[in-house]
Structure 1
Amino acid sequence: MTLTDFMPCYQRADGKLVQFDEIHRIAECTHGEVDIKITFQPRPEYAAADPTLDIMKHGLVAGGAKNYMSLSSSLPFEALDGQAIAAARLRHGDKTAFVLRYHHDRPLVGTLDNSLNKLAKTKAYWQQQAEGCVFSGHYRDYIVRSYLALHLLVYSPTGAIVAAPTTSLPEEIGGERNWDYRFTWLRDASLTLNAFSALGHREEAINFMKWLLNVCDRCGPKAQILYDIDFRDPIDERTLDHLEGYRRSRPVRIGNAAYSQRQLDIFGEVLEAAYNYVEIGGYIGNRDWKLLETFVDAACELWPEPDSGIWEVRGGPFHFVHSKVMCWVAVDRGIKLARSLGRTEQVSYWRKTAEEIRNDILSKGWNPKKGAFTQHYDTEILDASALLIPLFGFLPISDKRVISTVNHVVEELGWSGLLRRYRTDETEDGLKGSEGAFLWCSFWLVRNLLRLGKLEDAIELYERLLGYGNHLGLLSEMVDPISGEALGNFPQALTHLAVVITGLELTEALREEQGKR
């Protein structure tokens, strides 16, 4: 028997995207006979409300609290103890379909024909998206797979991209590091712009920049670092103590308290996105420029302050080196944008501030005793985010301090060839327990190895990282490098962004190497 699951999505003749709040499953008997049993167990409000089940001619409707959904099928269902059950025998060539629809109070009629029609259109749409990637190279299949995963994470009504579509999948089995990632981070949106533009999807990249500018316009430099995808629902964090969690990993959380944190690196992410947007031919008008100016000015004002950092630690705040570097990036990219736009009124002040930030980082973030840039000031603790120093151009890869930092990070944060983001037993992050190797950080290492001229090492690590994908090529936030088990929320936008960006750089390096032969 073959099962085909999909969510319908396709373009009309006029180019408009058509989407449905539906999940389809088509069951087909490919040979012989097979008995199937279908169990439908809706659990509304995170299993806090008892569902009602109303059996109808073409399926049933499930309700609970404020939400309801319909399940469409040609098979007869029976309701029992909060669940509905159906059974059937399929013979060779038989097909049957089931359609789960959100916020619909009537089942579909003609389920199988409807599903087959939408499946054909959906397949054509995604094939068109894949063919639209102009990139060609050794890793094309992996890069296109990641692009499609990212595309699936975009909420088209607002253009927001969710960090992951799941909540509370643990970073350590049985641990408490379980977070709700069903929100959009400004950081992710800026990185997505870069990835999509590099793949030739310029229109989508422009749409991400418009979304980012819209958020910044609504909220200004005091913008939260994350938002609900439609900017309506509250995101206050709470735990669902009646749920035991994935493999007894508690607590299960909904909402994310990190939204209220100060994370100074966001200024750099926004200005880096704007700079790259202009580089691909995007237009920054007068209103947008005035808005971006306020973000540069905010970086100039706030960079001396401590914050919660890129990892959103619940200890601290601290003077994180990465946050200072990204404030420098905000000012540096602001200067470059100002010059390209002929808006140089603030450049002298910004240049002076950029130099102040730079000197502060080099004097307080570099630990000569350790021989590395540290996680934050006044510590010898290391952090994988130091690998971003050469990637954002704060220092060249040839700088002895950068080379020494890379070596120390690999030595101290390495775990069976991958990287931790930091050592949880050393960092005051306000949490108990440990976590897996962070895939995003390991991709940073690949990019550093490339810049150090270690092409073979970079290829080996990149291909190993790709191997942690599941049978569909989807990757999680973290992994256990020993067992290969996926950890953290899944699929993770940051990881797939890293696959694209790193893969493009690696392919270019391979072409240059071949050109020398």
Structure 2
Amino acid sequence: MRPAQLKRTAWGRLEPGGPVASDQRSSASASRYLPIADHGLIGDLRSVALVGTNGTIDWYCCSRFDGPSVFASILDADRGGAFELAADVPARTKQFYFPDTNVLITRFFAEDGVGEIQDFMPIVDDSREADRHRLIRRVVCVRGSLPFRARVAPRFDYASQPHTLHMEDSHAIFESASLSLALTASVPIERDGSDVWSVFKLHEGEIAVFALDRVGDSVVPRSCPLAEAEREFTATVRFWRKWLSASRYRGRWREMVHRSALTLKLLTYAPTGAIVAAPTTSLPEHIGGGRNWDYRYVWIRDAAFCVYALLRLGFTDEAEAFMSFLSNHVDLRHCNDSGPLQIMYGIDGRSELPERELHHLEGYQGSAPVRIGNAAVDQFQLDIYGALIDSIYLYDKWGKSISSQSWDSIVAVVDWVCDNWDRPDEGVWETRGGRKNFLYSRLMCWVAIERAMRMANRRGLPADIARWRRARDTIYRRIMQRGWSDKRAAFVQHEGDDVLDAALLMMPLTKFIAPTDPKWLATLDALGEQLVSDSLVYRYDPQASPDGLQGAEGTFSICSFWYVEALTRAGRLEEARLAFEKMLTYANHLGLYAEEIGHTGEQLGNFPQAFTHLSLISAAFNLDRHLG
């Protein structure tokens, strides 16, 4: 097909001509963004790319999760930059993962043929080649013949930094002040200003390859011929299958559990062992609203729960890597007024994460502002200590015994918790409506002390057990007396009110209260009546408990899986199984979840979210065990 047959859209994208395509283009102009759920994820354990069902990479931060974006059309369809690759005729598309891997296949079904794009990022060790951060897009015609089109339009540093283009032999070099990328292709590419495009046709069995590399310093441009792309594909498939083979899960929901495990692994930053909460920023919790946050960091709470989920499945290396992150980058014995821990850190362990707004980007479907950094880093949250100590306890039990130095750090943390558990804080949901005496924060302080006592007793480690026991028991009595509302006949979000909170679902999960205790069963019923909608669970009612933020939000998927587990432990297995199966229908076509589910079932918030996938693993594991 000749380049003249391509037409340019208002925002510079290449689209096929013809009357059918024109109708599709009119539809596309009305909605310039794919749904958040219409994406798959690939990565190299350092960064990731989101690939839409239309074949476009519309989110990619080269070299690291929290680096400046190269492609960000998911946050601004006009200015964000993208790597488009698709059939050049009207076609239906479907996406799936190559079995038991994170290699993503996008298939195009057209009148004259079927083709597919195989997207992956090779996994490289800590050698110099790891700095290449290669992204490979292999195009295959599997039936008939099919024309394809490509357009590579990087926009460096969140589309704020200009770049130049140099064409050298088979390479296109995109150079900006802070980053240079080299594109190689096995088909001809043409210049279009500072971008490149290509139109080519493949017949059955033919393959074309595009490879995008970071270059500079000691990494030089290198072509990616068909044979090398084949070797890289085979090696990448082998890596993911070997990793997944360590899973011990053999239950009913093996495919969903393993997809969640593979996703959690993708969210791991190999150089430090950090686990990010999500690989994106500013995908909205409410379309058009301002609840748009940067999740590309290490939340101590999220990462600690991830360790629990991975240990459950038998992945001890990831737990060990996170423990190394803590020991190398977090000084638990250093303490200020906010305690020895921040709620989050950078993937390299840095403590400063200044939040700023990028006003030149319109945001997903106009959901502004777009934010980078996260001001919640300065919040005071007590629940993180329970999550951390619980994960260390499980690692010590199921993984490797912790060192004497680590125990000294734990003692320092628990001593601090004993002195500070009674302080009001911002709470697990990071509300910006002022500090309160949240029940969940008290609960997790109890967990921190109780798990440390278990470790000390099991291994005979030195500790002031008498002091710890007094603090633990005082917290227990405080929760039972002031966290219970006779008026509501349930445990409540914080002292002095009658508001419900889905975080309370963790009470039996942490073994604070028996799952069949009458008070807990009454609370479970109250949560089901007030916060549950068709298995979906809201975190809390912001009208009843103002959180200092504007706009509404959807149901919170981690809470929905907590609800399944709470029902399971209460012996309500039919309800639990139905709720779990319903939750599976809210996953996207690849089994991935964003943070929230909207009113009509759409996925909202940063995508995919580690918190949701780890809670799916835990719910499936426990429901399986109880069903027998």
Q: In which range does the TM-score fall when normalised by the shorter chain?
A: over 0.9
Helix, strand or coil for the counterpart of 1:31?
strand
Structure 1, residues 282-329: CA drift from partner, whole Å, max 9, x if none? Answer: 212221111001110111111111111111111111111100111111
Q: Which runs of 5+ in 1 are unaligned?
A: 512-517
**What displacement does 1:17 show?**
11
Q: Which has the larger helix fraction?
A: 1
Letter in 2 for 1:365: G
Aligned partner of 1:474 in structure 2 is 592
Question: Is the contact between residue 332 and residue 410 of structure 2 (CA under 8 Å) also seen in structure 1?
Answer: no
TM, length-normalised to structure 1: 0.94
One-letter amino acid of the structure 1 residue matched with residue 326 of structure 2: L
Which residue matches 2:184?
A: 72
In the alignment, which residue of structure 2 is the partner of 1:355?
473
Q: Does 1:400 align with 2:518?
A: yes
**Corresponding residue for residue 610 of structure 2:** 493
* In the alignment, structure 1 residue 144 sits paired with structure 2 residue 262: no
Give the C-alpha shift of residue 139 in structure 1: 1.0
CA contact (8 A) 2:393 2:455 kept: yes
Q: Alpha-carbon deviation of 1:155? A: 0.6
| Residue type of the alignment partner of 2:552 | S
1:223 Cα offset (Å): 2.0
Indicate whether 1:506 and 2:618 are aligned: no
Task: State whether structure 2 residue 574 is matched by structure 1 residue 456.
Answer: yes
> Is the 8 Å Cα contact of residues 60 and 107 (structure 1) preserved in structure 2?
no
Structure 2 unmatched ranges of 5 or more: 1-114
- Report the 3-state secondary structure (helix = DSSP H, G, I; strand = E; otherwise coil) of the residue aligned with 2:136: strand
Change beyond 3 A, Cα 1:214–1:368: farther
Where does 1:127-206 land on structure 2 (aligned, <5 Å)?
127-206=241-320
Query: TM-score scaled by structure 2?
Result: 0.78
Q: 2-side partners of 1:364 and 1:17: how far apart?
A: 58
Cα distance, 1:186–1:215 mapped onto 2, change above 3 Å: farther
Match runs of 1:337-356 below 5 Å: 337-356=455-474
Displacement of 1:123 after TM fit? 0.6
CA distance in 2, matches of 1:501, 1:16: 38
Whether the 8 Å CA contact 1:382–1:422 is kept in 2: the answer is yes
Correspondence for 1:514: none
Whole-angstrom distance in 2 between the partners of 1:313 and 1:52: 43
Alignment partner of 1:222: what SS? coil
Q: 1:190 to 1:483 in 2, by over 3 A?
A: same
In structure 2, the partner of 1:311 is: 429
**Aligned ranges 1:221-300 → 2 under 5 Å:** 221-232=339-350, 234-300=352-418
Q: Are residues 218 and 98 of structure 1, via their aligned partners in 2, closer, same or farther at CA, if it must alter by over 3 Å?
A: farther
Q: In structure 2, the residue corresponding to 1:241 is in which secondary structure?
A: coil
**Secondary structure of residue in 2 paired with 1:271:** helix
Q: State the SS of the aligned residue for 1:308.
A: coil
Secondary structure of the corresponding residue to residue 100 of structure 1: strand
User: Aligned pair in 2 of structure 1 residues 396, 213: CA closer, same or farther (>3 Å)?
Assistant: farther
Q: How far, CA to CA, are the matches of 2:399 and 2:123 in structure 1? A: 29
Q: Answer yes or no: is the 8 Å Cα contact 1:215–1:223 preserved in 2.
A: no
What per-residue deviation string (whole Å, max 9, x for no partner) do you get for residues 84-140 of structure 1?
Answer: 112222222221111112344754224322221100111111111222212212111
Rounded Cα–Cα distance in structure 2 between residues aligned with 1:307 and 1:246: 31
Conserved 8 A contact 1:59-1:76 = no
1:331 corresponds to which residue?
A: 449
Residue type at the aligned position of 1:510: L
CA RMSD in angstroms, aligned pairs only: 2.1
CA distance in 1, matches of 2:520, 2:459: 32
C-alpha separation in 2, matches of 1:137 and 1:197: 16
- Contact preservation (8 Å) 1:174, 1:250: yes
Deviation, structure 1 residue 142? 1.1
Matched, 1:377 2:377: no
Distance in 1 of aligned mates of 2:456 and 2:269: 32
Check whether the contact 1:9–1:17 (CA below 8 A) recurs between aligned residues.
no
Residue 96 to residue 378, structure 1, CA distance change in 2 (3 Å): same
Aligned equivalent of 2:167? 55
Aligned length: 508
Identity of aligned residues (%): 38
SS in 2 for 1:2: strand
Amino acid at match of 1:492: Q
CA distance in 2, matches of 1:71, 1:219: 47
Asked if structure 1 preserves the Cα contact closer than 8 Å seen for 2:260 and 2:614, the reply is yes
Q: 1:341 Cα deviation (Å)? A: 2.6
Residue identity in the other structure for 1:368: D
Residue in structure 2 matching 1:32, options 137, 144, 147: 144
Query: Following superposition of structure 1 onto structure 2, how do residues 65-144 of structure 1 map, counting pairs within 5 Å?
Result: 65-104=177-216, 106-144=220-258
What SS class does the counterpart of residue 217 from structure 1 fall into? coil
Alpha-carbon distance in 1 for matches of 2:527, 2:224: 59
**Mean CA deviation greater in 352-361 or 440-449:** 352-361
2:296 is paired with a residue whose SS is: coil
Of stretches 346-355 and 215-224 in structure 1, the one that deviates more from structure 2 is 215-224
- Between stretches 59-68 and 114-123, larger displacement belongs to 59-68
Aligned to 1:23: 135
When residues 103 and 195 of structure 1 are mapped into structure 2, their CA distance, relative to the original with a 3 A threshold, is: same
Separation of aligned partners in 2, 1:290 and 1:214 = 15
CA positional deviation for 1:352:
0.7
